[in-house]
C-alpha cells in the first residue's frame, strides 16, 4: 500500500460506497481541498489521520443508504453512457480535423529544404512554477501562471491558469505576448509539444516552467502556420520519439529537440492563405467539438449534483424508481 493512501474500515451502520460518494461530493465542492495542506496544484495532502477523520460524513439509516445507491447506480449509468458517446464523437471530430488540416497543408507543397524551426525563431522565453492557488483568474487584472494545458489541441487557452498568491512577487519578463508561439514542453504524451498562438493581450498572465514561448521572424514564418504544422501527425510522431520521462502522465521534450524539428515553409503569403483556408474548413468541426465538450461538462456537473443531493438527503431516493 502506498504511503500516500489511507485505508479505512467502515462500521456496520454504513455502506462503504455511500461513504465513498459522500467523500467525493465534499471533494467536488472544494471542502476537502480547504482542509488539506499545501497550495501547489497536485501537491496538497492530509498530514495526519486526525485531519481526515474530521470530514463530516452523513450517516442516514442503512435502508436509505441502499436506496440511494440503487438510485445513483441507475441515474449515473445513463449519464456515463451519454458522456462516453460524446467523448467518442469528439475523438472522431478531432481525427477529421487533423485529416482536413493535413490535406490542406500538403496542397501547399513546400520545398524540402532541410530548414529547422530554429531558423525562424528569434527568441525563447521559459516560465516558472511558483506555488499558486488552484483556481484560475483573468490574467489581466490579477496575476496568474499558465498551466501545462494552455496550448492543448492547438488552441491557446488563457483560462488554463492558476492565480498567483499575493505574497509571491510576479515576474513581468515571463508574461505571454500577443503573437507568441506557446509550446508545451512537459505534458502527457498525447499533448506534449502542443503549440498555439497567443491571440490577445494578457498583461498579468505568466508562463509556467512547463511552457516555452517562441518569438518568430514574421518576415519568414506565420505563427499560426507553424502551430498548425506542429500539430500534424508527422510532427507529432517526431515529438513522441524525442519524449523522455518514466511516467506516461508527464513526458518532457527539450528546447533543443523542439528547435530542431523540421519546418519547411512556403512563401509567407502562401502560409497566410493556407491558414485562412484551414480556418474556414475546420470552423464547423470546431463548433461541433465545442458543443460536445460543453455537453460533457454539463453531464459531469449533473452527475456530481445528483450524488451530492442523494447523499445529503436533498432527494428522497426512497420514492424514486
| Per-residue pLDDT reduced to its tens digit, 243-266 | 998 777 789 999 999 999 999 899
Q: What is the pLDDT of residue 46?
A: 55
For residues 260 and 296, state if they share a domain. Answer: no
Cα-to-chain-centroid distance, residue 189? 13
Q: How far is CA 298 from CA 23, 86, 165, 224, in A?
A: 21, 12, 30, 31
Q: Is the pLDDT of residue 211 over 90?
A: yes
Contact 135, 162 (CB under 8 A): yes
- How many C-beta atoms lie closer than 10 Å to residue 13's C-beta? 10
For residues 103 and 117, state if they share a domain. Answer: no
**Looking at residue 133, which CATH number applies to its domain?**
3.90.220.20
65 within a domain of the structure (yes/no): yes
For residues 77 and 34, state if they share a domain. Answer: yes
275 within a domain of the structure (yes/no): no
Q: What is the pLDDT of residue 223?
A: 97
Mean pLDDT in residue range 214-226: 96
For residues 70 and 214, state if they share a domain. Answer: no
Q: What is the pLDDT of residue 250?
A: 85
270 within a domain of the structure (yes/no): no
pTM summary value: 0.77
Name which of 159, 65, 144, 110 is nearest 263 in CA terms. 110
For residues 19 and 163, state if they share a domain. Answer: no
Mean pLDDT in residue range 135-158: 93
Residue with cell 512556403: 266
Distance CA 20, CA 28 (A): 12
For residues 195 and 214, state if they share a domain. Answer: yes
* Count of domains for the chain: 2
Q: Is the pLDDT of residue 215 over 90?
A: yes
For residues 187 and 118, state if they share a domain. Answer: yes
Residue with cell 498530514: 47
pLDDT single digits (tens) 98-110: 999 999 998 876 6
- Which has the higher per-residue pLDDT, 166 or 51? 166
For residues 151 and 232, state if they share a domain. Answer: yes
282 within a domain of the structure (yes/no): no
Grid cell listed for 294: 460543453
Instruction: Please give the residue range of the domain that contains residue 303.
Output: 1-109+291-321
277 within a domain of the structure (yes/no): no
For residues 259 and 134, state if they share a domain. Answer: yes
Q: What is the pLDDT of residue 108?
A: 75
273 within a domain of the structure (yes/no): no
Mean pLDDT in residue range 96-124: 87
Q: How confident is the model at residue 40 (pLDDT cuts 50, 70, 90)?
A: very low
229 within a domain of the structure (yes/no): yes
For residues 90 and 196, state if they share a domain. Answer: no
Last residue of a domain, one of 250, 265, 280: 265
For residues 90 and 202, state if they share a domain. Answer: no
Q: Is the pLDDT of residue 284 over 80?
A: yes
Q: What is the pLDDT of residue 50?
A: 61
Q: What is the pLDDT of residue 269?
A: 93
SS3 188: coil
Mean pLDDT in residue range 219-229: 95
Q: Is the pLDDT of residue 43 over 60?
A: no
For residues 22 and 104, state if they share a domain. Answer: yes
Distance CA 60, CA 311 (A): 9
Distance CA 151, CA 19 (A): 38
Q: What is the pLDDT of residue 25?
A: 79
Grid cell listed for 183: 509550446
31 within a domain of the structure (yes/no): yes
Q: 20-24, 93-97, 179-183, 195-199: which range is least confident on average? A: 20-24
Amino acid at each position: 500500500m502506498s504511503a500516500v493512501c489511507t485505508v479505512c474500515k467502515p462500521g456496520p451502520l454504513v455502506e462503504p460506497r455511500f461513504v465513498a460518494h459522500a467523500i467525493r461530493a465534499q471533494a467536488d465542492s472544494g471542502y476537502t481541498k480547504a482542509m488539506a495542506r499545501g497550495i501547489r496544484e497536485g501537491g496538497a495532502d492530509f498530514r495526519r489521520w486526525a485531519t481526515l477523520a474530521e470530514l463530516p460524513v452523513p450517516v442516514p439509516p442503512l435502508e436509505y443508504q441502499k436506496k440511494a445507491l440503487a438510485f445513483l447506480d441507475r441515474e449515473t449509468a445513463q449519464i456515463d453512457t451519454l458522456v462516453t458517446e460524446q467523448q467518442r464523437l469528439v475523438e472522431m471530430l478531432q481525427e477529421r480535423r487533423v485529416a482536413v488540416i493535413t490535406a490542406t497543408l500538403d496542397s501547399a507543397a513546400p520545398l524540402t529544404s532541410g530548414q529547422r524551426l530554429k531558423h525562424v525563431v528569434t527568441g525563447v522565453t521559459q516560465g516558472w512554477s511558483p506555488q499558486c492557488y488552484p483556481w484560475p483568474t483573468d490574467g489581466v487584472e490579477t496575476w496568474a501562471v499558465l498551466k501545462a494545458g494552455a496550448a492543448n489541441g492547438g488552441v491557446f487557452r488563457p483560462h488554463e491558469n492558476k492565480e498567483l498568491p499575493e505574497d509571491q512577487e510576479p515576474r513581468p519578463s515571463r508574461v505571454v505576448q500577443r503573437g507568441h508561439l506557446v509550446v508545451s514542453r512537459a505534458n502527457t504524451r498525447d499533448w506534449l509539444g502542443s503549440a498555439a498562438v497567443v491571440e490577445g493581450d494578457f498583461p498579468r498572465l505568466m508562463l509556467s516552467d512547463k511552457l516555452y514561448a517562441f518569438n518568430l521572424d514574421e518576415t519568414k514564418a506565420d505563427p499560426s502556420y507553424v502551430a498548425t504544422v506542429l500539430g500534424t501527425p508527422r510532427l507529432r510522431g517526431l515529438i513522441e520519439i524525442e519524449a523522455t520521462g518514466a511516467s506516461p502522465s508527464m513526458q518532457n521534450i527539450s528546447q533543443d529537440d523542439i528547435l530542431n524539428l523540421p519546418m519547411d515553409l512556403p512563401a509567407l503569403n502562401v502560409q497566410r492563405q493556407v491558414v485562412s483556408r484551414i480556418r474556414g474548413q475546420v470552423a464547423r468541426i470546431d463548433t461541433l467539438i465545442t458543443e460536445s465538450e460543453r455537453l460533457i461538462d454539463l453531464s459531469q456537473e449533473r452527475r456530481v449534483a445528483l450524488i451530492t443531493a442523494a447523499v445529503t438527503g436533498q432527494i428522497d431516493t426512497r420514492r424514486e424508481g
